[in-house]
Amino acid sequence: MQQVLSPPRDVTRCLAFSPDGGVLAWAGTDREIRLWDLAARREGGTLIGHKDTVVSLAFTPDGRTLASGSWDRTVRLWHVPTAQALAVLPEHGGRVFAVAFSPDSRTLASGGEVAAGRGEVRLWQAGR
Query: How confident is the prediction along the chain (128 residues), in pLDDT tens digits per residue?
Result: 567 666 556 788 899 999 999 999 999 888 999 999 988 888 889 999 999 999 999 999 999 999 999 999 999 999 999 999 999 998 788 899 999 999 999 999 999 988 777 899 999 997 54
pLDDT value for 6: 63
pTM for this entry: 0.90
Domain ranges of the chain: 12-125
One-letter amino acid at 38 equals: L
Task: Please compute, for residue 3, the number of CA atoms within 13 A of its CA located in the half-sphere on the CB side.
Answer: 6
CB 109 within 8 A of CB 97: no
- Domain covering 12-125: architecture: 7 Propeller (2.130)
In this prediction, residue 1 carries a pLDDT of: 58
The predicted structure's pLDDT at residue 20 = 96
User: From start to end of the chain, where are the E strands?
Assistant: 12-17, 23-28, 32-37, 42-48, 54-59, 65-70, 75-79, 84-89, 96-101, 107-115, 118-125
